[in-house]
Every structure is written in structure tokens, then in C-alpha cells.
Amino acid sequence: MVSIENMASVLRALPDPAFIFSSSGKYLAVFGGSDTRYYHDGNGLVGSYISDIVKIEKANWFLQQIKQALSSGNLLIIEYELSNKDVKGLPDEGPDKPIWFEGRVQALDFLIDGEPVVLWVASNITQRHQLEIKLRQLSDTDQLTGLYNRRKLESELMLHYETFKRHASPMAILILDLDNLKLVNDTYGHQVGDKMILAAANACQQQLRKTDIACRFGGDEFVIVLPNTDLQDTVYFANRLRQSFNQALSPFFLEDAAVSVSIGAASMVASDRSYEDTLRRADNALYAAKRQGKNCVVSA
């Protein structure tokens, strides 16, 4: 059997820190945290309260998790961040990125000084969290342009459609197609065509608001989602965007064909049964722009 002395040694050797918290947020004991790559000695915290260490908003969040673990009696697994801005007495300047932790919180079946207590094991998952973000970005992003891909577009459109149905918030869609890209590819090769697509994507990013969403829909076709924008403002923005695109594409001018952009615009309306109805009208407007001679904006 493991002796009490040996058990104390085992607890000290735990790589991740384990805290005993009272229901009021008092640090009653600290074990482990021997992985010095990620953790500092936490024994100096014993006797303090969470609210003594971190700012009130974050302290209240910790207390809520303790309360939830005590009331449920089940293991609570949570992910959370801590930065220098959360800790009292530290300057706001510091690392831009917070440290991410996975907390495993379990109610214990005894009292200390008359208070219920929990075991809180904190594991530094910053590297894992950053990798998850990177993988998520890769899965949502077009490799050539850095814009969102079709998968991300469909997810965002579904959310915006639900918001429109619930709150009647205006929303518009633009579909853009580069004119004469096939001729560029056939004449100069696909590398030049890719440069043309990238130039258009960069021009797009420079014109968008933070709330707008731009996606490469496929090939030389782009879709832009404009939340809180009616059709009149959408057409005005589309014409400004068309001029910006044409300026960006001007270095790719061909003697026998103008390199430009055609745009179809549509607003979401009450009769739309899904975002696909809005997208379809914008697509039809794009084809109308092509039939009208290209390099123009048509709304539906």
C-alpha cells in the first residue's frame, strides 16, 4: 500500500495543478503543477480567495463553475482562458494571446470549515487550442485566396437566414464572376489566371466591413454576404466594388477582351423559404449581367 508520505510525494509530482476550492472561492490546498514549462508554484495562493487574485468578472465566472459542480455532483469539464488582463496587479501590456486551460471540476464528499469543496484540476491546453483554431481555419478557408470557402458560406448563410426570419434584419447577397478569365487562362496560362483571382480577392477584402463575409464560391466566382444592408445600398456598394475590382484587374488587360467583373445582387425577402432562394436570385441576376455585356451590376 502507498503510505501517506508517499501519497504526498505523488500529489506533488502531478504534472497539472490540482486545487481544492471552497464554495466561496477560497484556495484551501494546491497540489501538483510540477510541469514547470506551463505552471508556477501555486502554494502561495492557499488562504486567498479567487476574487483576491483575478478581476471580479472572471472571479464570478469561476464561482459559477464551482456552484454548478457542487449542485450537479457530476464531473464538470470546461475550457477557459486567462490572460494578464484578468489577473489583479498586472499591467495590461503583455502577451497578446491568452493561456487556455481545460478545467475538470468535481464536488468532494466532505466539508472544510463547514463549506462544501471541489477539486479543480487545470490543464494547459494552449497549444491544442491553437491547433484546433488553425485546423478550423483551414477547413473554412480557400487555399488560394484566404477567403472563406463554400462550406463556410453555407453555414453563415443558414445563420443569417434564421436571423432574418426571427428579427427581419435586412441581408443581401452579391455573386461576382470575373469576365473573360477563360481567355486569360487559355492565352497566358492558369498561373496568370490564379494571379487575377488573387488580385480580385484582395480588392474584395479591402472594401468589406468587418461584418461582411466574402467567399470564393468556386473557380472565378465569389459570393459576398452583406448583413443589415438593403437592396439599394447593396447595389451602390456593388458598383463601388466593381470599380475597385476593375482597377485591381487592369494589369491583366487583354487586347481582344476586357478583364472585368460582373455582379448579381439580391436581398432576402419574406417569401424566401431558405437562403438558397436568395442565392438563386442573385445568381440569375449575375447571368443577366453577363447577357447585358458584362462589367455591370444587375439586381433581382
Kind of pairing between the strands at 297-299 and 213-218: unpaired
Distance CA 36, CA 282 (A): 57
Positions marked catalytic: 220
The grid cell for 265 is 445582387
Residue pair 260/251 in contact by the 8 Å Cβ criterion: no
Kind of pairing between the strands at 213-218 and 221-227: antiparallel
- In terms of Cβ atoms closer than 10 Å to its own Cβ (0-12, 13-18, 19+), residue 140 is middle
Residue 271 is classified by DSSP as T
Among candidate residues 48, 44, 38, the one with its CA nearest the CA of residue 15: 38
Q: List Cβ neighbours of 171 (8 Å cut-off, separation of 6 or more).
A: 160, 161, 163, 164, 225, 226, 227, 228, 229, 267, 268, 278
Distance CA 204, CA 173 (A): 14
> What's the gap between Cα 33 and its chain centre?
31
Q: Containing H/E element for 22?
A: strand 17-22
Could you tell me what percentage of the chain is helix, strand and coil, using 3-state DSSP and rounding each to the nearest 5?
45, 30, 30
Q: List Cβ neighbours of 103 (8 Å cut-off, separation of 6 or more).
A: 65, 76, 77, 78, 79, 80, 120, 121, 122, 123
Distance CA 249, CA 198 (A): 10
